[in-house]
Amino acid sequence: MNSFDFLLQGLAAAAQPMLLLYAFIGVLLGTMVGVLPGIGPALTVALLLPVTYGLDPAGSLIMFAGIYYGGMYGGSTTSILLNTPGESASIITALEGNKMARNGRGGPALATAAIGSFIAGLIATLLLAFLAPHIVRLALVFGPREYFALMVLAFVTVSSAFGDSTLRGLTSLFLGLALGCIGIDQLTGQARLSFGLPDLLDGVDVTTLAVGMFAVGEALFVAGQHALDRDQVLPVKGSIWMSRRDWARSWKPWLRGTAIGFPIGAMPAGGAEIGTFLSYSAEKRLTKHPEEFGNGAIEGVAGPEAANNASAAGTLVPLLTLGLPTTATAAIMLAGFQQFGLQPGPLLFATNPTLVWSLIASLLIANLMLVVLNLPLIGLWVKLLTIPKPWLYAGILMFATLGTIGTNPSSFELGMLMGFGLIGYLMRMFHYPVAPIVVGLILGPMAEQQLRRALSISQGDWSVLVQSPVAAVLLTLAALGLIVPLVLRALGKGEVLQAVAADED
Amino acid sequence: MSDRLPPHTDPVPGPAERPPEPHVVHPSLFAVAAGLAVIGAVMLWDSARLSGAAGYSNVGPAMFPRIIGGVLIGLAVWTAISTLRRDFPDPHPSAKGPILWVLAGLTAQLLLLKVAGFSIATGLLFALTARGFGKRNLAVTIPLGIAMAFVIWAVFSQVLMLNLPAGPLERLFFGTTP
């Protein structure tokens, strides 16, 4: 059977009324939480994880897919109407989209973002469906050393290749790797860094870390910054529909944004925001209306939003086919899989194809639901944006702790949540990126296991790591990703990298 | 190259905001460096007591913590040098009071969770967090928080079957078995 048959089967499975309901609830919750200022997709997914605990794996993962896509949509609404990007991938949308809203063109800005996201999501999800089986076939010949090399590459791209400082990216990553060492060693059963505390033997929970970093850390940071400031929500004036001219100016940026965003998400190359920056500069160069850029050019919303969503779908390629999370959001999704004992990767396609394909099909369904839902409900989303900060953050902390208590009702776990919150707060204070620590925690133990397996096979000979051409190429890329930015920054050319700062998601 | 990059007009401290240029050497940055060095040292100390059990690979459970601990100490040195050379951006200024309120809320919840149950503990977290963000009237926010937390408890423990600790308030409405 080819991808198309599998996808049709998946669509048939996902079209059961109960699963459609789960997808719908996921989309609705994801958009609602994603719209809230200060909450990006990573936190949306982490906060809503407990909602899915009671469901069966299929329903839960499908709701999850809805939450993920919903959170991505929600973020664009926030940045257009509030100029407070809920997620770093929406920063560019805020540039032009917020200007459009100020000029009374908020409606068309929201519409081009929604439709662009839909088209990008549709194309990218189809690409995911058709690419996945090929990558799975490739991945089946991957041994431990290839996996290890791939993870090293992911470490470098997440932490230091982009962003404004190799030092701070690497520090965040290695803190995550250090946290990953806590608990029982997978190969010898010895306790590491547990300090005699039984609560630490199971290791650090990814969700606790992510919620601590993104929810508690962010709440502390915002409390310390400007607790009493009120952001101004721009009203949506005039028609929300796009004119014929808006359509004519939007469709090419949508397609270009998709073409830029998907490969960036699909390769272990860091976050969605890199695609949005590239798409923005492409649109700025190609536009017939350069004077509008900076004052509300619709191309500057259409392209980056499409790139953002295409990249989000692209991230699922390494996650589903290799079990390799390359963003904080993907790391939490992986934790979501693992709560059901499912390990994404080539084997999952073989052992549980129905689940994988109904998940991919649900992404298509969720995407369609979003475009239908997003524009008519715009009034509701605007109301959510006007929630005053005290209630917003008090509510965020309620749900943040709820998730932790629901997984493990112990004071120890809550103490860890608070500790991670403090670390997250300090990292924000000192300009450290937060995503590498989360990715480091989940990928670190996996990388260690693969490395030690590879060395077991070779009986301790480290040179096997570069004897396979695939592994050698990946490790070379990783080395370049570490060294080239350092050299560029030393030569005072760090601006380029700074502008594509990979952070948060 | 740089003229094609998007302008940074974002007034809020966004994640890609350009960090401000450093003016003075901040002592707090040395504390960061020291903290990193301590974590690195703890990792080296802990890995020293792990037995060799390396098997065929010649690398045992101590290898990874040792590498990470060593790198963290290296990063601590790099941070200190970078601070002295004023390469490290100024930390964001931050008010202490609001942060202590939020932390007090989290601590109250942590301590009261088992004794007073989810609703009361989480209601206090809600009220103290709101206090940190400027809502001073605890006589209103505490009951409001407890009421909201109770609704959340009812939905999540009764409908979504999440195991949330019950206290006197929950038992009053849902009987003795949570």
What is the sign of the dihedral through the CA atoms of A35, B10, A169 and B102?
Answer: negative
- Report residues of chain B scoring pLDDT below 70: 1-24, 51-58, 175-178
Half-sphere exposure of A78 (CA within 13 A, CB side): 29
Domain assignment present for residue A440? The answer is yes
Angle at which helices A57-82 and A106-140 pack, to 10 degrees? 140
- Per DSSP, A192 falls in state E
Name the residue with tokens 């900060």.
Answer: A389
CB A99 within 8 A of CB A55: no
Q: Phi, psi (5° rounding) for residue A191?
A: -80, 130
CA distance A355 to chain B (A): 22
Query: How many independent structural domains does chain A possess?
Result: 1
CB A300 within 8 A of CB A92: yes
- Chain B residues with CB under 8 Å of A393 CB are 102, 129-130, 133
Domain extent at residue A403: 3-499
CA distance A172 to chain B (A): 10
**Which residue of B56, B110, B125 is in closest CB contact with A411?**
B110
Alpha-carbon span B121 to B99, nearest angstrom: 19
Written as one letter, the residue type at A73 is Y
Q: Which of B122, B29, B36, B113 is nearest to B71 (CA)?
A: B36
CA distance B130 to chain A (A): 5
Would you call A228 and B47 a contact, using CB atoms and an 8 Å cutoff?
Answer: no
Residue partners of A418: CB distance under 8 A and separation at least 6 = A212, A216, B103, B106, B107, B110
CB A293 within 8 A of CB A284: yes
Would you call B6 and A499 a contact, using CB atoms and an 8 Å cutoff?
Answer: yes
Would you call B57 and A456 a contact, using CB atoms and an 8 Å cutoff?
Answer: yes
CA dist A38 to A99, A420, A474, Å?
20, 18, 35
Domain assignment present for residue A451? The answer is yes
**Which residue of B12, B50, B98 is in closest CB contact with A190?**
B50
- N-to-C CA span, chain B: 63
- Chain A residues with CB under 8 Å of B103 CB are 220, 418, 422
Would you call A397 and B133 a contact, using CB atoms and an 8 Å cutoff?
Answer: no
Would you call B46 and A391 a contact, using CB atoms and an 8 Å cutoff?
Answer: no
**Which residue of A223, A409, A448 is in closest CB contact with B102?**
A223
- N-to-C CA span, chain A: 35
Return the pLDDT at B127.
Answer: 94
Domain assignment present for residue A504? The answer is no
Would you call A187 and B55 a contact, using CB atoms and an 8 Å cutoff?
Answer: yes
Would you call B134 and A395 a contact, using CB atoms and an 8 Å cutoff?
Answer: no
Alpha-carbon span B34 to A230, nearest angstrom: 37
Would you call B1 and A178 a contact, using CB atoms and an 8 Å cutoff?
Answer: no
Helix, strand, or coil (residue A478)? helix
- Chain B residues with CB under 8 Å of A164 CB are 18-19
Written as one letter, the residue type at A490 is A
Would you call A501 and B13 a contact, using CB atoms and an 8 Å cutoff?
Answer: no
Domain assignment present for residue A505? The answer is no
**Which residue of B72, B79, B145 is in closest CB contact with A167?**
B79
Return the pLDDT at A313.
Answer: 86
**Which residue of B68, B95, B122 is in closest CB contact with A181?**
B68
- Chain A residues with CB under 8 Å of B72 CB are 171, 174-175, 178
Which token pair is A299?
A: 């191309």
Residue partners of A502: CB distance under 8 A and separation at least 6 = A157, A158, A161, A162, A163, A270, A271, A273, A274, A433, A435
Alpha-carbon span A132 to A381, nearest angstrom: 35
Which token pair is B163?
A: 């195991």
Our CA angle for A53, A56, A58, nearest 5°, is 115
Domain assignment present for residue A324? The answer is yes
Alpha-carbon span A439 to A430, nearest angstrom: 19
Would you call A393 and B152 a contact, using CB atoms and an 8 Å cutoff?
Answer: no
Length, in residues, of chain A: 505
Which token pair is A169?
A: 């990216």
Helix, strand, or coil (residue A191)? strand
CA dist A366 to A21, A22, A48, B34, Å?
10, 10, 16, 48
Residue partners of A376: CB distance under 8 A and separation at least 6 = none
CA dist A48 to A112, A230, A284, A300, A358, Å?
27, 26, 37, 31, 20
Return the pLDDT at B129.
Answer: 92
CB B79 within 8 A of CB B32: yes
Tally Cβ neighbours within 10 Å of residue A407. 18
CB A35 within 8 A of CB A385: yes
Alpha-carbon span A89 to B51, nearest angstrom: 46
CA distance B149 to chain A (A): 8
Alpha-carbon span A120 to A251, nearest angstrom: 11
Tally DSSP H helices, then E strands, for chain A: 23, 2
- Report residues of chain A scoring pLDDT below 50: 228, 500-505
- Chain A residues with CB under 8 Å of B160 CB are 50-51, 53-54
Domain assignment present for residue A357? The answer is yes
Helix or strand holding residue A436 (H, E): helix A435-457
The model carries a pTM of 0.84
* One-letter-per-residue 3-state SS of B40-103: HHHHHHHHHCCCCCCHHHCCCCCHHHHHHHHHHHHHHHHHHHHHHCCCCCCCCCCCHHHHHHHH
Q: Phi, psi (5° rounding) for residue B166?
A: -100, 150
Alpha-carbon span A92 to A342, nearest angstrom: 36
Half-sphere exposure of B90 (CA within 13 A, CB side): 8
Query: How large is the ipTM?
Result: 0.83
- Chain B residues with CB under 8 Å of A495 CB are 1-2, 5
Would you call B56 and A401 a contact, using CB atoms and an 8 Å cutoff?
Answer: no
Would you call B133 and A50 a contact, using CB atoms and an 8 Å cutoff?
Answer: no
Would you call B134 and A164 a contact, using CB atoms and an 8 Å cutoff?
Answer: no
Would you call A224 and B156 a contact, using CB atoms and an 8 Å cutoff?
Answer: no
CB pairs under 8 A between A and B: 255
Return the pLDDT at B1.
Answer: 32
Helix, strand, or coil (residue A235)? coil
Longest dimension (CA), chain B: 69
Name the residue with tokens 């000979």.
Answer: A461
Q: Which of A66, A38, A52, A61 is nearest to A372 (CA)?
A: A66
